Amino acid sequence: MKVCIVGATGLVGSTMLKLLEERNFPVSYLLPVATERSKGRNIGLNNVEFPVCTLQEALDAKPRLVLFSAGSEPSLEWAPKFAHQGAWVIDNSSAWRMHDDIPLVVPEVNVHSISPDSRLIANPNCSTIQLVVALNPLHQAYQVRRVVVSTYQSVTGTGTAAVEQLMNERQQTDGPKVYPYPIDLNLLPHIDTFQPNGYTKEELKMTNETVKIMGDASIRLTATTVRVPVRGGHSESVNVEFEQEFDLTEVRSLLAKAPGVLVQDDPASLLYPMPLYAEGRDEVFVGRLRRDESQSRTLNMWVVSDNLRKGAATNAIQIAEYLLAKGWLS
């Protein structure tokens, strides 16, 4: 099977490569696409070196699976070309997420939205993915009415240059900056561009994507997204109001049984999720489960996940594994 990764040298693209190896995904030939400055470079997969190629060269090679992680512009132009040629395309950008005819998929929640004709599939925003994995089992039991979420997002969500800015500031070294202010010893309540209503694009993505993935337009969600001086792993403080009353013991049980969730909730032992320990893992970690004592039928929880893995690369590879299991990628 020919597999193409667009953005193969980026943080998400390189994580996708790692996961293809880890999960023994059947790749017969790799087509790594990267920027012009990577021309002439080789990318390794399963101890075999493959030359970096252009998008046109990859298209001409007719891959069976294409994983996009290079931003919206290349996806808008090239993803339909690959799909029209018969490839299955999984796009990690925001380009196609809110198109009515494009499935927006988190396998633990709505993999059923993929059909044999869904040649182009959108991978959701990293913060949305971990949120809906934790919300979905509770929504099935108690019906989510309203969600208030504040995110604490690591610099890897911005990319390699952001990691370099954080490390340079930490070492008091001059270097290029991708944020408008220092990120070390600071918090930036600003992810993506501000919109006329005062929210950022990231905050609106979480609102709109959650409703689409969970398939329930009655869910109301408001978000505040914050960049924090953490290298990897996104964290979320989540306040959920339900239509029905809940029992905390049952909540823990539902989450513990939910696919992709790992409950870490033992205050007496100081056990709770932290981004430092979520790095390199594929689970969505949930803890600090407690009632909101200011309002009925409302739960507080703390949700953490590796944004490069489950928040991006792992979710995409899981979608590809589903296509393989259905026999659609053969």
Catalytic residues: 126, 234
Residue 222 burial (CB count, 10 A): 14
Q: How far lies 262's CA from each of 76, 212, 305, in Å?
A: 35, 24, 10
Q: What is the CA radius of gyration of the chain?
A: 20
Contact, 254 vs 141, CB < 8 A? yes
Per the document, the length of the chain is: 330
Please enumerate in sequence order all residues whose Cβ is within 8 A of that of 197, keeping only pairs 6 or more positions apart, or say none: none
Nearest to 95 by CA among 111, 113, 79, 109: 79
Nearest to 306 by CA among 268, 266, 274, 279: 279
Order of strands across the sheet with 65-68?
Answer: 29-33, 2-6, 65-68, 88-91, 120-122
Q: How far lies 127's CA from each of 120, 184, 286, 293, 330, in Å?
A: 21, 21, 14, 26, 32
